[in-house]
Amino acid sequence: MSDDLICVGAISGSYGVHGEVRVKSFCADPEDIETYSPLSTEDGSRSFALALIRPMKNGFVARIAEVATKEQADALKGTQLFARRDQLPSLPDDEYYYSDLTGLQVFDTGGATLGQVKSVQNHGAGDLLEVQLPGGSATVLVPFTLEVVPTVDLAAGSIVADPPEGLF
């Protein structure tokens, strides 16, 4: 992924028969996704001017000017929507974009390597860092809380973690 693009949402399918789409927002304030328009695909091959029509369960009903039919809307299902980093607000010191955490090296408080952040997940109860263990494909989910992850150093590309006993 480009360092200049941040995934802010995804098209989850069509809504109705007039080309409207269902959009899931990954923004802290979900309705802010509209203010970052135009949004693009990750490779930049397509651009979308997104207009939110109304909220719905797990997202919004939205209109994209170039989409006029249900079939065109269906074809966009699964499309991730990206905004340029310079369009997004600056974050406080203790908040991070998921894309900034992916790829960081994870060390314990003694300096031993625990692995590398493969992804950041959130299933509703809080953020989890999926840490890939060195020398293999096995991963461990680490709670992304201040208690477990006291230090994130984006400049150094590292995270210091104090995982619960037995997690690793």
Helix, strand or coil, per DSSP, at residue 80:
strand
What does the pLDDT profile of the chain (168 residues) look like in tens digits?
446 889 999 999 999 999 999 999 988 889 999 999 899 998 989 999 999 999 999 899 999 989 999 999 999 999 999 999 888 888 888 888 888 899 999 999 999 999 999 999 988 788 999 999 998 899 999 999 999 999 999 999 999 999 988 888
- Strands in the chain per DSSP E: 5-15, 20-25, 39-40, 47-48, 50-56, 59-64, 80-84, 105-108, 113-122, 127-132, 139-143, 151-153, 158-161
CB neighbour list of residue 35: distance below 8 Å, 6 or more residues apart: none
* Residue type, position 24, single letter: K
How long, in residues, is the chain?
Answer: 168
Question: In the chain, which segments carry CATH 2.40.30.60?
Answer: 5-87
Q: In Å, how far from its chain's centre is CA 43?
A: 16
Helix, strand or coil, per DSSP, at residue 87:
helix
pLDDT score at 141: 95
pLDDT score at 110: 92
Question: Distances in Å between the alpha carbon of 46 and those of 49, 53, 66, 81?
Answer: 10, 21, 11, 10
Among the CATH numbers 2.40.30.60, 3.40.50.970, 1.10.645.10, 1.20.272.10, which is that of 5-87?
2.40.30.60
In whole angstroms, give the CA distance from residue 82 to residue 42. Answer: 6
Question: In the chain, which segments carry CATH 2.30.30.240?
Answer: 98-161
In whole angstroms, give the CA distance from residue 20 to residue 111. Answer: 51
CATH architecture of 98-161: Roll (2.30)
pLDDT score at 3: 62
pLDDT score at 136: 86
